[in-house]
Amino acid sequence: MKRWWDTFTGITGSINGRQWGLVCKIWASIALVLIVYNTIINFQVLNVKVFSVAELCRQTSNVLFYCLCWALTFPVSLWVARVLSALSRVDWPFVAFQIVVFIVLIAVTGAARGIVNGAFYYDRYGLLKPSDIGSYTITYAYTGFIFYIVSLMLGYTIEYHRLFRDNALRAARLETQLVQSQLETLKAQLHPHFLFNTLNAIVTLMRKGETAAAIRMVGGLSDLLRQSLDTMAVQEVPLEQELAMVRKYLDIQQVRFEDRLKVTYEIAPETVNLLVPNLILQPLAENAIRHGIGRMTEPGKINITSHRAGSRLNVTLEDSGPGPDSDWQNSPGIGLKNTMARLEKLYGADAGFDLRRDQGRGTVTTISIPARQHQPVA
């Protein structure tokens, strides 16, 4: 009950003037249709010869008041729509509670219309008795049921418009974050120190006469930059494509570090077509090189593994470097901060990110996300 009430109080504070204006316009339009309908019935069907302006004003005011009562129930209909749209299964206690709310709304609006109707026709029927109010409530129950359905439809319409708008805003933010991630990736790849070491390694290979290795290094650098640009608008890619990207990066680093760097892959075959965020592994590999292997004088190792555990895909990158600082979470680098933010935005609570020291030395970084199959575009 408290959770339902918290949702309701949150809704009442979030309804803006524009929404109230839209609700009032819709119910005013319904009132206008009913007024025209009642007028036609009185003149044609009932063959009323004399239909005074006073009688028209009475009926118009009566209908307007009734529609106003239902317009004021908009927070309740929006509340029902928001709670039900968020449920993954039927919440029977809430359904039962809403049936009670539905009966109360019909009774209250019907009684209110009866009281107003009695006031308008006091000169004709005299003082309104409690039994008359009950009769009016029953008489307007059918109309109240129809109006409650209209009110619910209105609540659902506005709620789904809000969800659509929020999803569009979320998609726009994801797009912005993806571009930022790609720009950070390009900035890292174009970092003067990185380019200097890469070009210096190419020159060294050329002097040694290892032309094939030098060409491979230049080609890898070119492919790495081109692929980063080609996938700029893509949010998720198959793991196989993401691994191809990080392989190009690590191939260049292997030429640079020569025998000091060994890279191994343990990729489960059933994971290669599962979706992962685009450019999610390259910042982790760069982190392993800069803060792990790059700080060592002895040979180092990077190992990338993937496996599926039920409905989860787990991808792990390990290095044999000195390991992370104990307070790395207080000041993560741009790459790690961006990676964690993208995972949170893409998967919310379903995303998992873990970075820890491996048995006293080395860093183990694991990404855990829902396992979703890549569906090629026909």
- Are 150 and 250 in a shared domain? no
Choosing from 107, 137, 168, the residue where a domain stops is 168
- Residue at 43 is within a domain: yes
- Are 66 and 153 in a shared domain? yes
Q: Given this model, what pLDDT does residue 190 score?
A: 47
Q: What are the pLDDT digits (tens) for 312-321?
A: 999 999 998 8
Q: Which domain holds residue 264?
A: 190-370
Whether the per-residue pLDDT at 84 is higher than 60: the answer is: yes
Q: How many domains does the chain have?
A: 2
CATH number of domain containing 325? 3.30.565.10
- Are 8 and 106 in a shared domain? yes
Q: What are the pLDDT digits (tens) for 140-168?
A: 677 778 888 888 888 888 878 887 888 88
Q: What are the pLDDT digits (tens) for 257-311?
A: 778 899 999 999 999 999 998 888 988 888 888 888 878 888 889 999 999 998 9
More confident residue, 105 or 265: 265
Lowest-confidence segment of 62-66, 128-132, 305-309 by average pLDDT:
128-132
- Residue at 108 is within a domain: yes
Q: What is the 3-state secondary structure (H, E, C) of the chain?
A: CHHHHHHHHHHHHHCCHHHHHHHHHHHHHHHHHHHHHHHHHHHHHCCCCCCCHHHHHHHHHHHHHHHHHHHCCHHHHHHHHHHHHCCCCCCHHHHHHHHHHHHHHHHHHHHHHHHHHHHHCHHHHCCCCHHHHHHHHHHCHHHHHHHHHHHHHHHHHHHHHHHHHHHHHHHHHHHHHHHHHHHHHHHHHCCHHHHHHHHHHHHHHHHCCCHHHHHHHHHHHHHHHHHHHHCCCCCEEEHHHHHHHHHHHHHHHHHHHHHHEEEEEEECHHHCCEEEECCCCHHHHHHHHHHCHHHCCCCEEEEEEEEEECCEEEEEEEECCCCCCCCHHHCCCHHHHHHHHHHHHHHHHHCEEEEEECCCCCEEEEEEEECCECCCCC
- Residue at 272 is within a domain: yes
Q: What are the pLDDT digits (tens) for 193-225?
A: 556 767 777 887 788 888 887 888 888 778 777
- Are 331 and 270 in a shared domain? yes
Choosing from 134, 168, 202, the residue where a domain stops is 168
- Residue at 304 is within a domain: yes
pTM recorded for the entire structure: 0.52
- Are 147 and 198 in a shared domain? no
